Amino acid sequence: MKSVFSLSWISSKNIRKQRKYRANAPTNVRHKFLVSPLSKELAKKSGVKRLTVRKGDSVTITRGQYKKKTGKVARVDYDRLKIFVEGIGRSKADGSVAQYPIDPSNVLITEIVSDKKRIKGVKKDESPKTNSSA
């Protein structure tokens, strides 16, 4: 049975409580752990620096043994807080290929799947700001 969740755990320096925070977090908090930075062009275009990774997004891996490899996100695992990229996997003893889990912080989103709600939340305010200093 999972213990009760508390937001005070995140402010603790105790690593045990930090792990407890991530392990017992409800889904509305867990989705924030699946955030990746956007590429420079995409960040400039959308006005945001990072977004939650979704299935179908194109990503470039920036850390680990698969560094500089690109592909589409095949699956997002909310339980393990990992993503799986198409074409990235390990061969098993029987010859089949198993998908390799990657932490979302170790990828760079290069292209996002368009969704009206997602784009609406991403688009920055296009109104020009007036400068009152003379």
Rounded Cα gap, residues 96 and 102, in angstroms: 19
Note the pLDDT of residue 2: 56
Q: Are 34 and 81 in contact (CB under 8 A)?
A: yes
Spatial CA neighbour of 83 closest among 49, 120, 51: 51
Residue 97 lies in a domain: yes
pLDDT at 47: 82
Q: DSSP 3-state assignment of 98?
A: strand
pLDDT at 4: 80
131: in domain: no
pLDDT at 114: 76
- Domain that includes residue 87, residue range: 7-113
pLDDT tens per residue across all 134 residues of the chain: 556 877 777 788 889 988 888 888 888 888 889 999 999 998 888 888 888 899 999 999 999 999 999 999 999 998 899 999 999 999 999 999 999 999 999 999 999 887 767 766 655 545 455 555 54
- The answer to whether 84 touches 107, Cβ cutoff 8 Å, is no
Q: What is the structure's pLDDT at 20?
A: 86
CATH of the domain at 58: 2.30.30.30
Domain count, the chain: 1
Whether the Cβ atoms of residue 70 and residue 59 lie closer than 8 Å to each other: yes
In a domain, 119, yes or no: no
In a domain, 133, yes or no: no
pLDDT of residue 70: 96
Which is nearest to 31 in space by CA: 47, 52, 11? Answer: 52
